[in-house]
Amino acid sequence: MNQQQWVGIDVCQKTLDVYIRPQGELFQVPNNPEGIAQLVEKLQAVEPELIVLEATGGLERTVACELSQARLAVSVINPRQARDFAKATGQLAKTDAIDAQVLAHFAEAIRPHLTPMSDESAHQLKELVQRRRQISQMITAEKNRLRGKSGSVASDIQSHIEWLEKHLAEIEAQISSAIALNREWQKKMELLTSVPGVGQVVATTLIASLPELGQFSHKSLSHLVGVAPLNRDSGKFRGKRQIWRGQANIRCVLYMATLVAVRFNPTIKAFYERLKAKGKLKKVALTACMHKLLILLNAMVRKGQTWQPLAN
């Protein structure tokens, strides 16, 4: 019988440190097209159950995509998960080789979900959406700086705001064009924007940054985004459940959508009012509504159905 193999890859700018578990093979290849091709050929021969990499600011994208295209199972995890796992298993030292071993152990012990790999157009859309958010934040910051200013300083800030707003409009046009050229994205856009409270910005952010929408279970997706309340109980102590970690940019747009939905979406509004009637704090009720909204969107995308009011 062939023994199951688990692979961890520590990604650096110039090299890739690879560890194959349990056979204990450790090797390094250059982080360039030639080295990645060599790695793909090697791992295709090994046929691992799972390959785990850390998200490293985009450096992992090329190798992860190449491995995925070679029909190898790949999972890209949050570096904090790997570090917490290393500490939990008593591995306090940190080197590239050790990190690769930890990731291979993580793959075998935890077996995280496979990570959907986006093509180049999806990657470009994600970058455009990220850039739109960055420019919006800069506009907000400049408007805050404009308060109380006068003379040449106020004129300079106002000129910068106008330039940023013009550039933001250009980014919005590029995003709209990208969506229009992709039938799958168009369909998702129609589904998502059919929900009262979900506008263009929320929909494009979900399309670009949450490819798991419609593919994962409600529970897995809620934990991925970070809207699932987590227990803090021990013995007789019962702590307050709270959300944490996850994807802050997704939570941000979901929060804005929820603020609109609790006013204009009958399903979310009724759910919110029922929670308030039970004495729930406003923030607690809004968080629960964010969770419910995400579950509704996930079900809609999975079934390919537009929004319909639901009984509560």
Q: What is the pLDDT of residue 272?
A: 94
Distance CA 27, CA 82 (A): 20
Closest CA to 166 of 146, 138, 204: 138
* Contacts of residue 275, Cβ cutoff 8 Å, sequence gap at least 6: 284, 285, 288, 289
Report the pLDDT value the prediction gives residue 42, as an integer from 0 to 100. Answer: 93
pLDDT per residue of the chain (312 residues) written in tens, 0 to 9: 468 999 999 999 999 999 999 989 999 999 999 999 999 999 999 999 999 999 888 888 899 999 998 999 999 998 988 999 999 999 888 899 999 999 999 999 999 988 877 777 888 898 999 999 999 999 999 999 999 888 899 999 999 999 999 999 999 999 999 999 889 999 999 999 999 999 999 999 999 988 888 888 888 888 888 887 766 666 776 667 666 667 888 889 999 999 999 999 999 999 999 999 999 989 889 999 999 999 999 999 999 988 887 654
Residue labelled with tokens 């059919």: 194
- At position 269, the amino acid (one-letter code) is K
Q: Which residues contact 166 (CB under 8 A, 6 or more apart)?
A: none
Cα distance between residue 135 and residue 52, in whole Å: 33
- Residue 269 CA to chain centroid, in angstroms? 27
So what's the pLDDT on residue 244? 63
Distance CA 101, CA 109 (A): 12
Q: Could you tell me if residue 205 is left (phi over 0), alpha (psi between -120 and 50 degrees) or otherwise beta?
A: alpha
CA-nearest of 296, 301, 197 to 256 is 197
- CATH number for region 6-110: 3.30.420.40
Q: CA–CA separation, 88 vs 233, rounded Å?
A: 20
The predicted pLDDT at position 239 comes to 63
